[in-house]
Structure 1
Amino acid sequence: MTNQRTIVVGFDGSEEAKRAVQWAAKYAVVRECSLHVVHCSLWVLLSNNRGPVPGVADSGLERAAQKVLEEGLALAQETVPDLEVRTTLLHGTPRDHLARVSLGAEMLVLGSRGLGGFMGLLVGSVSLEMAATAECPVAVIRADDHPEGPVLLAVDDSGSPAALDDACRFAAATGADLMIVHVLHEPAGYRLLREPVEAYPDAEALLDSVLSQARHKAPGVTVAGELLFDASFSKAVVKASQGARITVVGTKGHGVIKGTIGSTAHAVLHHAHSPVLVSRRRVTTEVA
């Protein structure tokens, strides 16, 4: 019987995409999901003649795209031999297809930059756009990987309930510890000018509430929390991400430009020292 719970991973043959496929395969097996490897061929944008070259076996642009997809499939099967994997070859840009293909999926997994990435651009435009528009959680896989580290969850003043769900789900599936942080804004030089405040009752109450919810949602997980102080929410989260297995952040999807995310999620995607999961999941009452 086909597993209805699926993790979708975009693959374009780049080193970043290879890491994404391996990561997605490993996570799919612990979540008891199937894996769907998707390659979006750009050749349709460049040429109408994609058929084989006469007299040349195994040639042509269409066949080249199929080979990329086959490479992704082989990599997933090599990483987790018994994993249920299917593949899809689509024509057009990833932004044209990935949000649609991942609709209803457990997660969409992408490399930090694809073949079209610019040197010096830490996260490609496709990953940023999917983090803002996909209707499922989006994991962006970086070279920084700490498979034995904790799950880091950053919560805002709302308690980030969707991100909490995803972080608990990830920690429960992988057996990782869960570290929950909440950042309080503190202007640069504040502690040099004023005596530090001894207590922050509202923030402490919020963090205690989130910790309690986490322990209820993932009873087998070791959960800890910490209040952080910084002039920048994203800077504090990036610093805390060192050594994390994955950093989970929420997004309301209210970037200034359509198809963008908020500044915090954007900065964390670019600079975190771990893979990043941008949570876009509907809140549920328990962890599955």
Structure 2
Amino acid sequence: MPSPDRVVVGYDGSVEAALAVRWAARHAALMDCELHVVHCSLWPLLTNDLGPVKGISGSGLQHQAQAILDEGQAEALSVAPRVRIRSSLLYGLPAVHLRRIADNARMLVLGSRGIGGFMGLLVGSVSLELAATASCPVAVIRFDQNPEGRIVVGIDSSGSAGALRIACAMASATGADLMIIHVIRPHDGMANAGGGGQKSASRLLQMAAHDARALAPDVTVNQHLAQDASVPRALLNAARGAALIVVGSKGRGLLRGTIGSTAHAVLHHTTGPVLISRPMEPGRTAGNVTT
């Protein structure tokens, strides 16, 4: 089984993918992880003629695919020249290959080329699919405007242990402050039980902060109890100016293999990087989320 000390990133030659590669390279270096850059070419699904054009040096679809991969490596090294790096050129559907390669990795990093229009698809289909199905945490990088900002992690009534662990690991690696936020909605029973709901929510936050300080004793930990009719809105408001927002996903979307509604909304409306942490399958190791 591959080592969990890897950050896997997909690169397709787009501006969005270049941003994701640079983000992944910086964080792989900070976490002392290997960076694995992957380019998946779709050309073999369309044609068997991948070779060079006779008499034209450097031509052909296979050469073009390799050039894109080389470009991805160069993007990574431009921001993290000492990062341990390897690369893979694969043929076929990106989601299939990236899900397999990222198995048991520290995280999978993706750019996103949303197409807008119908249902406001601001996040690409590959990113959404892998956020819902990959076995490791998935970072989706659409913007990276505040790399020196704090890290925000949203927790639900379960405490969101997986999201909290990966947020602590990221904060410890980057030196960022950590804000833990829990949202209660005005019409929830938890918020209206004669004040008892807020007390329970406060205790939940205090327990999470205690766990965070044990996981990352070098990190400044803050906590915030928000009350809002919309959980995603409260999370996004708290994440303004943040370097990263971390949310858990129980995969309770309308369709099988989709992320939950909160994670989905955060992905579509965020102005910064988002890291989706899904519950680990029984029997899997926790190597990808420990500090």
Under a length normalisation based on structure 1, what TM-score does the superposition of the two structures give?
0.91
Give the structure 2 partner of residue 202 of structure 1.
200
Letter in 1 for 2:271: H
Give the structure 2 partner of residue 165 of structure 1.
165
Letter in 2 for 1:272: T
Partners in 1 of 2:101 and 2:72 — Cα distance?
Answer: 17
Give the structure 1 partner of residue 185 of structure 2.
185
| Residues 4/217 of structure 1: CA separation in 2 closer, same or farther (3 Å cut) | closer
- Equivalent position to 2:228, from 227, 230, 238: 230
- Spell out, residue by residue over 1:242-286, the C-alpha distance to the aligned partner (whole angstroms, 9 max, x if none): 101100000112322122101000000111121000013648599
Partners in 1 of 2:197 and 2:128 — Cα distance?
Answer: 37
Q: Structure 1: 5+ residue runs without aligned partners?
A: 188-193
Partners in 1 of 2:4 and 2:160 — Cα distance?
Answer: 27
Query: How far does residue 168 in structure 1 lie from its aligned partner after superposition?
Result: 0.4
Give the structure 2 partner of residue 191 of structure 1.
none
| Pair 1:18 & 2:15 matched | no
| Residues 96/199 of structure 1: CA separation in 2 closer, same or farther (3 Å cut) | closer
Q: Structure 2: 5+ residue runs without aligned partners?
A: none
Letter in 1 for 2:115: F
Letter in 1 for 2:52: P
Residues 209 and 221, structure 2, Cα contact 8 Å, conserved in 1: yes
Give the structure 2 partner of residue 142 of structure 1.
142
Give the structure 1 partner of residue 115 of structure 2.
118
Partners in 2 of 1:284 and 1:143 — Cα distance?
Answer: 28
Partners in 1 of 2:89 and 2:128 — Cα distance?
Answer: 22
2:246 aligns to what SS in structure 1?
strand
Give the structure 2 partner of residue 7 of structure 1.
7
Partners in 2 of 1:280 and 1:223 — Cα distance?
Answer: 22
Residues 25 and 79, structure 1, Cα contact 8 Å, conserved in 2: yes
Identical residues among aligned pairs (%): 52
Size of the alignment, in residue pairs?
279
1:200 aligns to what SS in structure 2?
helix
Query: More displaced, 275-284 or 90-99?
Result: 275-284
Give the structure 2 partner of residue 190 of structure 1.
none
Residues 214 and 223, structure 1, Cα contact 8 Å, conserved in 2: yes
Letter in 2 for 1:118: I
| Pair 1:66 & 2:63 matched | no
Query: How far does residue 3 in structure 1 lie from its aligned partner after superposition?
Result: 7.7
- Equivalent position to 1:265, from 263, 266, 284: 263
Structure 1 residues 235-254: aligned runs within 5 Å:
235-254=233-252
Letter in 1 for 2:58: D
Query: More displaced, 275-284 or 238-247?
Result: 275-284
Partners in 1 of 2:87 and 2:279 — Cα distance?
Answer: 24
Structure 1 residue ranges, 4+ long, deviating more than 2 angstroms after superposition? 196-199, 280-288
Query: How far does residue 112 in structure 1 lie from its aligned partner after superposition?
Result: 2.2
Query: How far does residue 165 in structure 1 lie from its aligned partner after superposition?
Result: 0.3
Letter in 1 for 2:263: A
Query: How far does residue 164 in structure 1 lie from its aligned partner after superposition?
Result: 0.5
Partners in 1 of 2:152 and 2:4 — Cα distance?
Answer: 28
Partners in 1 of 2:175 and 2:205 — Cα distance?
Answer: 22
